[in-house]
Amino acid sequence: MTPRLALRHLAAAAVAFLFAAGAFAGVLPDERADVMWKTYEGGGITVQGPSILVRKNFADTVSVSAGFLVDQVTGASIDMIVVHASPLREERKKKTLSVDYLYGKTTYTAGVQNSVENDYDSSTVNVAIKQDMFGDMTSVTLGASRGWDIVTRIEAATHRRDPNFRARVDRKSWSLSLSQVLSRNLVGGFDYEAITEQGYLQNPYRDYRFLATLNPASYNTAAEIYPGTRTSNALTSRLKYYLPWHGAVTGKYRYFLDTWGIRAHTAEVAYSQPFLKEALIGDVNYRLYRQNSASFYSDLFQAQNQQNFMGRDRELASQTSDSVGVALSYDFLRSRHWRIKKAAASLHFDYIMYRYNNFRDATLGLPLGTLPAGTEPLYHFNATVIQALLSVWF
Residues 6+ apart with CB under 8 A from 382: 42, 351, 352, 353, 354
This prediction has a pTM of 0.89
Residues 6+ apart with CB under 8 A from 212: 218, 219, 220, 373
Tell the CATH topology of 56-65+94-393: Porin (2.40.160)
Q: How far apart are CA 66 and CA 132, in angstroms?
A: 25
Model pLDDT, residue 34 = 97
Model pLDDT, residue 157 = 82
Pairing verdict, β 280-291 and 263-275: antiparallel
The answer to whether 49 and 35 are in contact (CB under 8 A) is no
Q: Helix, strand, coil shares of the chain as percentages rounded to 5?
A: 5, 60, 30
Strands (E), 76-105: 88-103
Model pLDDT, residue 21 = 38
Interior/surface letters 367-381, b for 16+ CB within 10 angstroms, e for the rest: eeeebebbebeebbb
Model pLDDT, residue 6 = 53
Residues 6+ apart with CB under 8 A from 201: 169, 226, 227, 228, 229, 230
Q: How far apart are CA 207 and CA 209, in angstroms?
A: 7
Q: Phi/psi of residue 208, each to 5°?
A: -105, 160
Model pLDDT, residue 297 = 98
Block mean pLDDT (10 aa), the chain, length 394: 51 46 62 96 93 94 96 79 58 96 95 94 97 92 98 87 94 97 96 98 93 88 96 98 95 98 98 93 98 97 95 96 97 82 96 97 81 93 97 93
